[in-house]
Each structure stands twice: as C-alpha cells, then as structure tokens.
C-alpha cells in the first residue's frame, strides 16, 4: 500500500467546453483527499531567436488570454478560499502541466476533454493524451457535459486486470472509496469469440480457451475484491468489446484503469485500451501511472 497523497490536485483549464467539468471533478477530488487545489492555464513560452522565434506581442496576448481563462475558472468555482491560480509559460500545455505536477508533488492531475467530442462523451485531445506519457501522478480526464455531478452515483469503478498496473489502479480507487464511503465495482472484460483467440483455432479450442479464461479472471476478481480492507468491493466479469464495454459503464462516478495491459490477463486490456477508452468514455476516467 502506497502512502496517502499529500500534494495538491492540479487542474489544467483552457477555453474549451470541458473546463467547467474539469474544475468540478478537480475540486471534488481535492475536497475528498483533503489537499489543496491548484488551477493552471498554460500559454506558449518565448522561443530562442531564429526561424522558430515567436513574436513577443503574440506571447503577451497569449498571457492575457491565460489570465482570462483563470478569471473564468475563479468565477465558475465561486472564488472559494484556499485555491491557487497559476499562469504557466511552456512549450506545450502538457509539458507545462507535467512540470507543475512534478514540482508540487501533485496527488492528481485533472484536465477536460477535447471540444471535438460529442456532448457527454469523452474525446481526449492531444494535451490529455500527452499527459499520459510519463506522468508522475494519476491523470483524470473529465468528459464535456458530464451528466451527473461527481459523487452523485455513489460508486467507483475499476477496469481490473491482475497485473501490477491493475493493482495500482485498484489501490488508487480504494483510497478514494475510503474517503467517500462508496463501494467499488471491479470489472474485467473478456473479448468475445474471434476477438479473444487466434484465428483458425477451431470452435472447440475457442470454447476451451474462453472457459479457462473466465475461471482465471473470476478467481482474480474475487481475490482482488477480498484484498481491499475497509471498502465494499463488488466484481463483475463481462464479455464484449473491451473499450465499448468499459466506455458504457454508466453506473460509476469515475473509472480507474492502469496505463498498460501486460501480464496473465493481457487479452483483457490489450495495448492501447487506456488511450482508446479516453476517447469514448461517458464518465471521468483516471489513468494511474505504470506501477514500479
């Protein structure tokens, strides 16, 4: 079990429609974890003189725009006490937020989804995807137009695989569940038929594989649910398309998942699932860094 987080929750905001949802998710998490909240807007930093030089006037304009974003965030939150607002200059939004999270030892980094996604669906833009590469803390992405306030459903989901990454996601979810008193729902998805076994194995071999897989996954889920002290943990084994099934998990407030899908259950979350899930999920998704 890792030590409880003591660093702040960092929320990155811009002019996008999901900024209000990111603020709602971030402030909810900060209250529950009893840590400070930092709201940040990133603008381009001046580059070295040369062909890539950025005009100083434009930089000043972008700085003013970032300040306007933070003013809007302050108004959205109702300007509560104890919230820090920071304008950052960096080569990219993701780089700036990465540096800030590392500098302050952030417990969680929260951003909104891209404006190109449909309402109430999560469509992670390049900033969110870049944040997932090497983040020092869990990254939460809030979909634009969340249908419920954070915590309204009273259940926390875990896309569980029996790997170090899956167990790290479970640990983070359990920490939040203890704060909220909410039960956990651990879900493992087994791909159906031809998506789960190599081509031309034959029906008998396919059935044998799926039967063995289900037994293995059920046992892993049962043990994982029993391993979480002080929290009620239910579990379900579902079949279907992995990304679609997890993306449609509408009965949870937030869904935790690991960053990879290696190990004995690699057929459950096979490479790239976390990234694809971010583009489709209807609930906030928290991607936990790869376990050491």
| pTM attached to this predicted model | 0.82
The class that CATH gives domain 1-150 is: alpha beta
Residue ranges of the chain with per-residue pLDDT less than 70: 1-5, 47-54, 114-129, 132-134, 192-210, 260-274, 290-292
Give the C-alpha distances (Å, rounded to integers) separating 164 from 94, 179, 204, 267. 26, 23, 32, 15
Neighbours of 117 (CB within 10 A): 20
Q: Per residue in 72-131, pLDDT tens? A: 999 999 989 889 999 998 888 888 998 999 999 999 999 987 655 444 444 345 666 677
Q: What is the largest CA-CA distance in the chain?
A: 69
The CATH 3.40.50.620 domain(s) of the chain lie at: 1-150, 153-292
Fold of 153-292: Rossmann fold (3.40.50)
pLDDT confidence of residue 219: 95
Neighbours of 164 (CB within 10 A): 15
Alpha helix locations (H) across 181-202?
193-196
Residues in CB range of 50: below 8 A, 6 or more apart? none
C-alpha 254/C-alpha 214 separation (Å) is 25
């Amino acid at each position: 079990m890792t030590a409880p987080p003591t660093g702040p929750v960092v929320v990155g905001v811009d002019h996008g429609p999901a900024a209000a949802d990111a603020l709602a998710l971030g402030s909810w998490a900060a209250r529950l974890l009893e840590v400070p909240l930092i709201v940040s807007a990133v603008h381009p930093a001046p580059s070295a003189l040369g062909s890539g030089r950025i005009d100083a006037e434009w930089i000043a304009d972008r700085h003013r725009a970032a300040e306007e974003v933070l003013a809007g965030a302050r108004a959205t939150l109702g300007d509560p006490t104890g919230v820090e607002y920071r304008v950052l200059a960096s080569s990219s939004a993701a780089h700036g937020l990465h540096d800030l999270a590392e500098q302050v030892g952030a417990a969680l980094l929260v951003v909104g989804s891209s404006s190109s996604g449909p309402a109430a669906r999560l469509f992670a833009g390049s900033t969110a995807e870049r944040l997932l590469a090497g983040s020092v803390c869990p990254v939460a992405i809030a979909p634009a137009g969340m249908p419920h306030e954070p915590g309204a459903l009273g259940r926390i989901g875990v896309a569980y695989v029996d790997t170090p990454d899956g167990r790290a996601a479970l640990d983070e979810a359990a920490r939040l569940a203890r704060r909220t008193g909410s039960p956990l729902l651990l879900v493992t998805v087994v791909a159906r038929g031809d998506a789960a076994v190599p081509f031309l194995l034959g029906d008998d071999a396919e059935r044998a594989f799926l039967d063995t897989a289900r037994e293995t996954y059920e046992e892993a889920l049962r043990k994982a649910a029993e391993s979480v002290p002080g929290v009620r943990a239910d579990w379900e084994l579902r079949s279907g398309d992995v990304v679609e099934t997890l993306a449609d998990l509408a009965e949870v407030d937030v869904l935790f998942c690991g960053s990879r899908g290696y190990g004995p259950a690699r057929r459950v979350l096979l490479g790239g699932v976390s990234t694809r899930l971010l583009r489709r999920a209807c609930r906030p998704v928290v991607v936990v860094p790869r376990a050491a």
